[in-house]
Amino acid sequence: MISKVVENANAAVQGLQDDMTLMLGGFGLCGIPENAISAIRANGAKNLTCISNNAGVDDFGLGLLLQTRQIKKMISSYVGENDLFEKQMLSGVLDVELVPQGTLAERCRAAGAGIPAFYTPAGYGTEVALGKEVRWFKGKPHILEHAFEADFAFVKAWKGDETGNLIFKGTARNFNPLMAMAGKVTVAEVEELVPVGTLDPNEIHTPGIFVQRIFKGTNYEKRIEQRTVRQREDAG
């Protein structure tokens, strides 16, 4: 068996260059590749196009790459928690393409499945549909959306083995499995890196064939984007 293990995040981003397109898993701050993002920042590559559900917050997640002006374009479905993102978008420093969340997921899945394009009703009649082909199916208009093309996909998993088989945990699964299938080079950072044969095949979410590099992440913050609590009913 070929080991795909690299020493650390810095080794995992080797080959990253200016003007590349990256996919980054996560939903809000849940399941984001924290170590990989730090390594991308240290790498210094500029003019990046980043495909991600959102852009993190001002000082965490992809917000770290916005601070250093490494991102020229964001393709996202939600951007509401990042003031720096808003400032750069309104000032014209950052190009933004907003995509319906289901369409974002399907454009990732289509890329991994070898499907170049598909039709969807989502976005018809809005700015999302501007300049796109429209066809009618069963009396309903659909717009043509193309699969993404990404040089790298960076994902975060709970467990992985040396050949790249991955298991995601809870809601941290989100966009990660779809993006893992779609990158030309997929880099997985995991909380637990185990020997081949340790994982139950029935529990594997992403087969190792989709993963080119894997490493054990460290020092995860796992921030909560918005903490909401209520008083216990039995509290005095």
CATH assignment at residue 32: 3.40.1080.10
- List pLDDT tens digits, range 93-143: 999 999 999 999 999 999 999 999 999 999 999 999 999 999 999 999 999
Would 232 be classed as within a structural domain?
no
Residue 175 has pLDDT above 60, yes or no: yes
Q: Which residue has tokens 């309104």?
A: 90
Residue 83 has pLDDT above 70, yes or no: yes
* 224 pLDDT tier (thresholds 50, 70, 90): confident
Range of the domain at 209: 9-117+147-216
| Calpha distance 54→150 (Å, rounded) | 17
The predicted pLDDT at position 226 comes to 75
| Bridge partner list, 193 | 160
Residue 219 has pLDDT above 80, yes or no: yes
The predicted pLDDT at position 70 comes to 97
| Calpha distance 173→106 (Å, rounded) | 15
| Calpha distance 224→18 (Å, rounded) | 31
- List pLDDT tens digits, range 14-67: 999 999 999 999 998 999 999 999 999 999 999 999 999 999 888 899 999 999
Would 1 be classed as within a structural domain?
no
Tell me if 53 sits within 8 A of 81, measured CB to CB.
no
DSSP 141-177: EEEEEEPP-EEEEEEEEEEEETT--EE--GGGGTTHH
Residue 78 has pLDDT above 60, yes or no: yes
Residue 1 has pLDDT above 80, yes or no: no
Tell me if 176 sits within 8 A of 156, measured CB to CB.
yes
- List pLDDT tens digits, range 138-172: 999 999 999 999 999 999 999 999 999 999 999 99
Would 199 be classed as within a structural domain?
yes
Would 181 be classed as within a structural domain?
yes
Q: Where are the alpha helices (DSSP H) in the chain?
A: 9-12, 34-43, 63-67, 83-91, 101-113, 176-182
| Bridge partner list, 75 | 51, 97
The predicted pLDDT at position 82 comes to 85
Would 188 be classed as within a structural domain?
yes
Would 31 be classed as within a structural domain?
yes
Q: Which of 224 and 159 is assigned the larger pLDDT?
A: 159
What is the count of structural domains for the chain?
A: 1
Residue 81 has pLDDT above 80, yes or no: no
Would 230 be classed as within a structural domain?
no
Round to the nearest angstrom and report the end-to-end CA distance of the chain. Answer: 59
Would 231 be classed as within a structural domain?
no
The predicted pLDDT at position 236 comes to 54
Tokens linked to 170: 């809870």
The predicted pLDDT at position 205 comes to 98
Over residues 221-230, mean pLDDT? 80
State the average pLDDT for the chain.
94
